[in-house]
Structure 1
Amino acid sequence: MRILGLRNFIYVLPFTAFLMVLMCFLRLQNHGQIKWGEMKYPSEQRELIQVLKRATMPDRTVILTMVDESHAKPGSMLEVLLQSFKSGQGTQRLLNHLVIITMDSRAFDYCRSLHPHCIHPSTFKHYFATKTRSFQITDHSVFSWRRNNVLIEVIELGYNIIFTDTDVLWLKSPLENFHPTQEISISCNFSSDGERAYSMHEGGIFFMKANAITLEFLKHWKLSKILYPTTNVEESWCETIMHNEDLVEMYGFRVHHVDTDHFGGFCQLNNDMLEKAHTIHANCCNDHTSKVHDLKIVLDDWFQFRKHVKNNNSTEKMALKWPQKCTG
């Protein structure tokens, strides 16, 4: 009997070893990839998953923005952002892929009156529990911390992200500016006083690729924020990339720098902006009301520019009438 059992064990052993080798091989094959659809998600994430599925492009890319009640009310920046999508060149269809993350119930209610893809604040209640004033202006670091945590959760679900600030006008589709395989595509404008950079301006929009490298890099940022809460952990992705070149290289976090002419802003004005820019960001501006005022002027100029080009079949430069209230 013992001999028979030993013989069976000898026969089973190679098969067991084969199974173990096969499992290791499959794990190696899947290394570096994000798998979705294999997990059971908590109830608060189900709405997010459903909205992302409805809003996604064929390549699993979604457009995200975040608003609180100061940015989602009559006459607010959310209205201007949505109007730019409707009025832009090749941007109307992209509205179907825009997901608006709301940070409070008033913002959610108003969002639902304007747009079909709005995420209730309870989905991210562990990040939005503490209310802040007009986050993009008075407490940008808190907004960036919340935004980057949202990015982590969406990337974990396997969706590429185009993130846009609400104070960005979409004049033309920016999709051609994004590198489809590199981890981030972003526009960084470095101003200098001769020998060294003293200020940095972002275009208010960036693309992030959903893969293991991006996810690990985002989690490193989050861990640094938790372990060293009092240190000056960069909130700007341009600053993070510039000040952490060794870390970027170590993770293999590839950066595609978009020409600042394509992602323009109030910080770097030129008379070619309406012709060259795909988006325009109301940066270098410290007041919500001023941003809305000047962005509406930009939209009006954009209408006039397109009409002029259509009637005259030319791209003659137009003198900029903005910014008027955004002066720094």
Structure 2
Amino acid sequence: MRTLGLRTGNSLYLPLTVFLIVLLCFFLYYSSKPIQSHGQERILLKPPSTDHSQNPELKQVLKRASMSDRTVILTMVDEAWARPGSVLDVFLQSFKVGDGTRRFLNHLVIITMDAQAFGYCSSLHPHCIHPSTFVHYFSPTIPNRNLLSWKKHSVLLDVLKLGYNIIFTEADVMWLRSPLSKLNPILELSISCNVAGAGDGYMQDGGLFFLKANAIASEFLQQWRLTKVLYPNPPVEESLCDTIMRNQDVVKWFGFRVNLVNTSHFGGFCQLNKDRLSDVYTMRANCCNNLRSKVHDLRLLLDDWINFRAHSSRKNTLEPMILKWRTPQQCRP
């Protein structure tokens, strides 16, 4: 009977002990500060400063690339995406052939995840970040590419805390027109979301979004990162859209305001039937895991866009065949 009593006691105290340890770590990891939101005072968690955000190289590159309102365009590439004939080549080409997009190259910062990517990036573009700047996030001891979204959110948080608004774009997004008119500079987030799967309702973003550098945006990303530590999900990439849609109560509590951009403006291969050349601002090669197929279809997409612009400059009316993409051919949704 005594042995049974000890076992029963242990079974009751163990969950309580674990809970108290997690709660103690939570309060030690954060401090509080009051901020004003919608005219009411409330307490938000203050994210701790990191050595990464204090890196002088990062500060210098961001300062050089910043727009007048302290907005920078960020993307991330590794060696597979940054080599001759790679996704990075097509990505940079899209800015050059897009309508009013070439100027954004001056504001584009490319974060490289390994030394090979940095070497190739530096041969093409003036604003490349060496992987040593974020060595903790891009450690080779964490090779799982499914953790990329977690690393990306950590990098975004560091840049936000330096006071820079962020337009984040995946490197497989083609910039065909300036997306600035679709991004709300007042709200914390502007993003386009699509349902990627009919079964579980998983929300996928269009590969481009705007984050405003303020306390609310920083606190929300910090909370998301803490949630990933305490309650790790299965090893799948979690999009920002999915994070927001599945945590509406947290979004509302933080006052994290979201501007949902029409998916016809920020399109992708997964929903190509919705997108016409006359409507689209950016196009992403999603639903395509093979890099060679991705590059092939992105080049085809840019050819279609160049032909569309040449045709529209010669005529006032557009032939129906010109309004349709030939892509994807090798990428199959």
* SS class of match (1:62): strand
- SS of the residue 1:126 aligns to: coil
Tell whether 2:288 aligns with 1:285: yes
- Residue 153 (structure 1) aligns with: 158
Q: 1:226 to 1:256 in 2, by over 3 A?
A: same
Tell me the residue number matched to 2:194: 189
The residue that corresponds to 2:167 in the other structure is 162
2:97 is the alignment partner of 1:87? yes
8 Å CA contact 2:190–2:210 kept in 1: the answer is: yes
Deviations 1:14-69 (A, max 9, x none): xxxxxxxxxxxxx878999xxxxxx9977971000000000000000000000000
Q: Say whether 1:263 aligns with 2:263.
A: no
Of 154, 172, 177, which residue of structure 2 is paired with 1:172? 177
Looking at structure 1, the residues matched to 235 and 93 of structure 2 have their Cα atoms a distance apart, in angstroms, of 36
Which residue number in structure 2 is paired with residue 125 of structure 1? 135
Q: Which amino acid aligns with 1:187?
A: S
Q: TM-score, normalised by structure 1?
A: 0.82
Q: Aligned-pair RMSD on alpha carbons?
A: 2.5
- 1:129 Cα offset (Å): 1.1
Give the one of 64, 69, 76 matched to 2:74: 64
Task: Provide the rounded CA distance (Å) in 2 between the counterparts of 1:85 and 1:187.
Answer: 20
Q: Which amino acid in structure 2 is aligned with residue 198 of structure 1?
A: G
Give 1:143's aligned amino acid: L
Q: Which residue of 2 aligns with 1:6?
A: none
C-alpha displacement of 1:86: 0.7
1:222 counterpart (214, 221, 225): 225
Structure 2 alignment gaps of length 5 or more? 1-33, 43-48
Distance 1:146 1:128 in 2: 7
Percent identity reads 57
Q: List alignment gaps of at least 5 residues for structure 1.
A: 1-26, 33-38
- Relative to 1, partners in 2 of residues 1:197 and 1:275: Cα closer, same or farther, differing over 3 Å? farther
Give the match for residue 104 of structure 1: 114
Deviation at 1:162, TM superposition (A): 0.3
- Write the distance in 2 (CA, Å) between the matches of 1:227 and 1:271: 39
In structure 2, relative to structure 1, the CA distance for the partners of 1:56 and 1:314 (3 Å cut) is same
Residue matched to 2:310: 307
Are residues 295 and 43 of structure 1, via their aligned partners in 2, closer, same or farther at CA, if it must alter by over 3 Å?
closer
Report how far residue 192 of structure 1 moved.
7.1
Which residue in 2 is equivalent to 1:206? Answer: 209
Cα distance change on mapping 1:230 and 1:185 into 2, 3 Å: closer
Deviation of residue 197 (structure 1)? 6.1
- Find the counterpart in structure 1 of residue 277 from structure 2: 274
Partner Cα distance (1:191, 1:59) in 2: 34
CA contact (8 A) 2:118 2:129 kept: yes
SS in structure 2 opposite 1:50?
helix
Tell me the residue number matched to 1:22. none
Please give the residue correspondences for 1:13-92 in structure 2 after superposition, counting only pairs within 5 Å.
45-92=55-102
- Supply the distance in 1 between the matched residues of 2:159 and 2:262 (Cα, whole angstroms): 26
Contact 1:185 1:206 in 2 (8 A): yes
d(CA) in 2 for partners of 1:237 and 1:80? 25
Q: 1:121 to 1:130 in 2, by over 3 A?
A: same
Q: Distance in 2 between matches of 1:302 and 1:122?
A: 37
> Would you say the 8 A contact 2:53–2:158 is kept in 1?
no
The answer to whether the Cα contact below 8 Å between 1:275 and 1:315 also exists between their aligned partners in 2 is: no
Counterpart position of 1:240: 243
Residues matched between the structures, number = 289
Distance 1:282 1:43, change over 3 A: closer
Q: Secondary structure at the match of 1:273?
A: coil
Are the counterparts in 1 of residues 52 and 158 from structure 2 also a CA contact under 8 Å? no
Secondary structure of 1:163's aligned partner: strand
TM-score normalized with structure 2 length:
0.81
SS in structure 1 opposite 2:110?
Answer: strand
Question: CA contact under 8 A between 2:96 and 2:102: conserved in structure 1?
Answer: yes
* Cross-structure match for 1:17: none
